[in-house]
Chains A and B, each alone.
Chain A
């Protein structure tokens, strides 16, 4: 029975988070008690979008409850903003690179016909994208290694990226590279390549150091670390290098004759190791392999016998012992391999290479479990645990481990898993959609960043789930719109992902912002985009009142700008027509002016409170030298005046005759109404006579 308790997957692990101390602190160290007595404590507020924190000293009790002579401290008036940098600058190029790949991958999966290369569909297309991700990780490691002033942080980053690459590479081998059609499906060569790329040993430096002594065989034999190096070569499957080295050192006089003879023999045997090719069937390869394995076994046994004989004579022959170990490794002896390896990955690689060279990815779990059992699991790093989970095909275990290493990794791996349809197994274990969960976790760090908000939004949008979109909608409305261009970009994102509600809210917000700044044209433009007619009416009323207040008609430029943008709104039309009226009047085209004024009244585009002013404006035309209004026109004017007086209770028809224009707020002035009435009747009489 299995007793090992599995970690709860629904608990978000916080072990990557560390405590940060403010230095200097807001109150002196060791004086908390004294401080507390002075009614002082700390208060804080977290920024809704980014990882900034506002801290301030606050009173425990409100001011009113304190005695009057309580001291107020100068430094307590200060608010400290402290930023916890979530995304280091060094990562920015990596993030933008991988974002581009992520976007391309979504496009590829969604609509393969749309991509530039039609052949790049299915596993091969995804494999190509996966390689691009890996290249980005390797590039990041290179860039970080080139940083001159390395510190602890840079080293941690390098390690994180190396771990990420190791995990990604292994994932790629198990789920993409070895399942691609038309390829030899043995996982072993891929695994050895993975091992040698991600855990470089024997290191190139070591090899160089030893090769320096290549001039004579004797010097070579004298080198320290030669034999461990040769054993490592065998474990990592570098058999041809091993064969060359052995051949080189065989003539050395320092070696015992037996060792020299067997060095040549092992060299020859290892050279004969069969290599698989795509043309050969697995069966015929296995047959060849078996023959070779038999040969190695014979060599190993012979050396073993010799050693046993030597033991009796108490004479240590290091060379011969090492040759024996090498031969044992080559024949796939698990015990020898375990004894000679440093890492469990080495053991797994060597065992597979020498005893199951045609193993497929499906064999990995059983092989891995045998080997990993021999290691103390408490000594395992996060990387080890993630790799083991991956080898065991235990994806529900694997994903949370990835997120411990880096949110970037878990989000992108989960995305890839979704696209190659191996996520189902995780869905049964997780309460939420794992792809969405990890992508949202990644976005959290991006969204508050000044340069990465757009990338964060793309991730949310391409999440393609309801909660992704709703988080996006919430967030997008909180982006600071510090320039017109940024506002355009945000609005475009809204359009792209169909965020109707946010689009609406942002336009209203922009409209209000422009209004406050006195940019009325721009404000109307924004309100018009979302058909916020009441706000446009309010702005128009403001313009109208400004005109009434100053007597100067200044709104021309405002409405021209918005009319050019094709806005059709009654109040804006009204202001525009009213300006036309003024222009005609100024250029003494009274008939045209009268026609315009009448059309404003008839079409009822004017706000009710402006009708009285329009009627007053008609008085000079009614009383002018030329006849402007025909009898019908005059009747129309009178009808307007009548409906105006009817619509207002008689009490509101004021008797005061203070300012003509001020009257408009309260209805029509009685004295002006009578003037208007007289003017109308006089004009009517004139019109009848003239006609």
Chain B
């Protein structure tokens, strides 16, 4: 089962993407949504975009122009970035953090009220990752601490096998620790006191934030030895993790059982899974993107019963996967972000073909095969 993504060419290799949280925390009253993309290769830059909130069906006159040109989103401004943008986190409507291929973490300020050219600017940046011989190491990923506080902690990981922590308000609070001998591919926070990383050596390593020098636990998939490309934690069940492998499989982990930590494997992609995440609005789904130029939404747990759906409480959902692709996008989908601020599932993604891809989650059928 595959669906077609909406597509907009942007002539940039889109390597990272993130929604900006709306000012009030939810987007119920906002007619415009904002997101940021980062690109690499020839054009290393950050671009601030706006798109219409799909929950407002009547476009204002300003947007009827968009409807005519059929654009999914319009550019507000661009700034150049030092190195390929490896990851972006939109922390609030006015702050975002980026990781670069030169190993630096940068904090940018955004002002969406002021739609002039200069509404996005670099506040500070710090080098977090470099090799022992002094060469800069790629910072592969970022994760923000899931805490209620305004000043969140940002964790990053890199090809130098180090993880680094930094307060989002101050770059000089950076601390870093060497924790692996291979490449660390991704990082996430299962709880506010725990981080977990995936390595190219095929391991998940968990750390307590208070003692980041010591590995608290290591998990491997005993049945297979593929490299792990990405990781994501369930938003509410901290023992549940999802990882994507270099062979295109998504593994679901239950780390309460150290003997059999892998609870299930879904073969949803043909090759390297670059990013994986539990759907922020419905954690019974896992979203993933891959080198095989597709996005996939996996319904990993069956939900609702026939009775409930008859009463209209919740539609019945069977397990399965929905594949999203576009004929005009032949190269790797590098990144995606699902919008947690609207009821409509707005999924945006970026690819090596230089396209912005979008899906507004109309509940189409899920296929049944994971193969």
Enumerate chain A interface residues (CB-CB to B < 8 A): 89-90, 92-93, 96-97, 99-101, 103-104, 449-451, 454-455, 458, 482-485, 488-489, 492, 516-522, 525, 557-562, 564-566
Residues of A within 8 A of B81 (CB): none
**What is the size category of the interface that chain B forms with chain A?**
35 or more
- Known contacts: A492-B271, A565-B201. The answer to whether A93 contacts B354 by CB under 8 A is yes
Contact B161 A100 (CB under 8 A): no
Contact A522 B181 (CB under 8 A): yes
Q: Which residue of B132, B183, B220, B331 contacts A522 across the interface (Cβ within 8 Å)?
A: B183
Q: Which residue of A100, A449, A562, A564 contacts B330 across the interface (Cβ within 8 Å)?
A: A100
Tell me the bound Cα distance from A449 to B161 in angstroms: 30
B159 interface residue (CB < 8 Å to A): yes
Residues of A within 8 A of B10 (CB): 93
Residue of B nearest to A85 (CB): B42
- Known contacts: A517-B135, A522-B183. The answer to whether A489 contacts B332 by CB under 8 A is yes
Contact A451 B42 (CB under 8 A): yes
* Min C-beta distance of A477 to chain B, whole Å: 20
Contact B331 A454 (CB under 8 A): yes
Closest 4 CB pairs of A and B: A521-B181, A93-B9, A518-B132, A566-B225
Residues of B within 8 A of A90 (CB): 11
* Min C-beta distance of B345 to chain A, whole Å: 24
Contact B42 A565 (CB under 8 A): no
* Min C-beta distance of A383 to chain B, whole Å: 27
- Known contacts: A484-B138, A558-B181, A561-B182. The answer to whether A451 contacts B13 by CB under 8 A is yes
Residue interface mask B26-49, A partner, CB < 8 A = 1: 000000000000000111000000
Tell me the bound Cα distance from A572 to B92 in angstroms: 47
B180 interface residue (CB < 8 Å to A): yes
- Known contacts: A96-B354, A517-B132, A564-B201. The answer to whether A492 contacts B327 by CB under 8 A is no
Tell me the bound Cα distance from A484 to B133 in angstroms: 17
Contact A483 B101 (CB under 8 A): yes
Residues of B within 8 A of A522 (CB): 159, 161, 181-183, 200
List residues of B (141-168) whose CB comes within 8 Å of A's CBs: 159-161
Contact B11 A521 (CB under 8 A): no
* Min C-beta distance of B157 to chain A, whole Å: 11
Q: A96-B330, A560-B201 are in contact. List 7 more A-B contacts (CB 8 A).
A: A451-B12, A454-B332, A482-B84, A492-B271, A521-B180, A565-B200, A565-B201
Residues of A within 8 A of B202 (CB): 564-566
Contact A520 B133 (CB under 8 A): no
* Min C-beta distance of A543 to chain B, whole Å: 10
Contact A484 B183 (CB under 8 A): yes
Residues of B within 8 A of A93 (CB): 9-11, 354
Q: Which residue of B84, B185, B227, B327 contacts A100 across the interface (Cβ within 8 Å)?
A: B327
* Min C-beta distance of A440 to chain B, whole Å: 20
B98 interface residue (CB < 8 Å to A): no
Residue interface mask B251-262, A partner, CB < 8 A = 1: 000000000000
- Known contacts: A492-B291, A521-B161, A561-B180. The answer to whether A483 contacts B330 by CB under 8 A is no
Residues of A within 8 A of B331 (CB): 96, 99, 454-455
Residues of B within 8 A of A449 (CB): 42
Contact B133 A483 (CB under 8 A): no
Contact A483 B182 (CB under 8 A): no
Residues of B within 8 A of A484 (CB): 138, 140, 159, 183, 185, 200
B353 interface residue (CB < 8 Å to A): yes
B368 interface residue (CB < 8 Å to A): no
B329 interface residue (CB < 8 Å to A): yes
A–B complex contacts, Cβ < 8 Å, 23 sampled = A89-B11, A89-B42, A92-B354, A93-B10, A96-B328, A96-B329, A99-B331, A101-B327, A103-B330, A104-B327, A449-B42, A451-B42, A482-B84, A482-B138, A483-B84, A484-B140, A485-B140, A488-B246, A517-B133, A518-B132, A519-B182, A557-B179, A564-B201
Residues of A within 8 A of B127 (CB): none
Residues of A within 8 A of B272 (CB): 488-489, 492
Tell me the bound Cα distance from A559 to B41 in angstroms: 34
Tell me the bound Cα distance from A517 to B179 in angstroms: 16
* Min C-beta distance of B311 to chain A, whole Å: 37
Contact B182 A521 (CB under 8 A): yes
Q: Which residue of A101, A451, A520, A566 contacts B354 across the interface (Cβ within 8 Å)?
A: A451
Residue interface mask B199-225, A partner, CB < 8 A = 1: 111110000000000000010100001
B131 interface residue (CB < 8 Å to A): yes
* Min C-beta distance of A348 to chain B, whole Å: 35
Residue interface mask B114-151, A partner, CB < 8 A = 1: 00000000000000000111010110100000000000
Residues of A within 8 A of B299 (CB): none
B278 interface residue (CB < 8 Å to A): no
* Min C-beta distance of A563 to chain B, whole Å: 8
Tell me the bound Cα distance from A272 to B9 in angstroms: 48
Residues of B within 8 A of A525 (CB): 182, 200-201
Contact A99 B201 (CB under 8 A): no
Contact A560 B181 (CB under 8 A): yes
Residue of B nearest to A116 (CB): B2
Residue of A nearest to B8 (CB): A93
In the complex, which of the residues B11, B138, B185, B329 has the most CB atoms of chain A within 10 Å of its own CB atom? B11
B355 interface residue (CB < 8 Å to A): yes
Residue interface mask B1-23, A partner, CB < 8 A = 1: 00000000111110000000000
Residue of B nearest to A521 (CB): B181
Residues of A within 8 A of B329 (CB): 96, 100
B337 interface residue (CB < 8 Å to A): no
* Min C-beta distance of A515 to chain B, whole Å: 10
Residues of B within 8 A of A557 (CB): 178-181
- Known contacts: A93-B9, A565-B225. The answer to whether A485 contacts B274 by CB under 8 A is yes
B352 interface residue (CB < 8 Å to A): yes
Q: Which residue of B41, B140, B179, B201 contacts A562 across the interface (Cβ within 8 Å)?
A: B201
Tell me the bound Cα distance from A92 to B10 in angstroms: 9
Contact B246 A519 (CB under 8 A): no
* Min C-beta distance of A511 to chain B, whole Å: 12
Contact A519 B131 (CB under 8 A): yes
Residue of A nearest to B219 (CB): A564
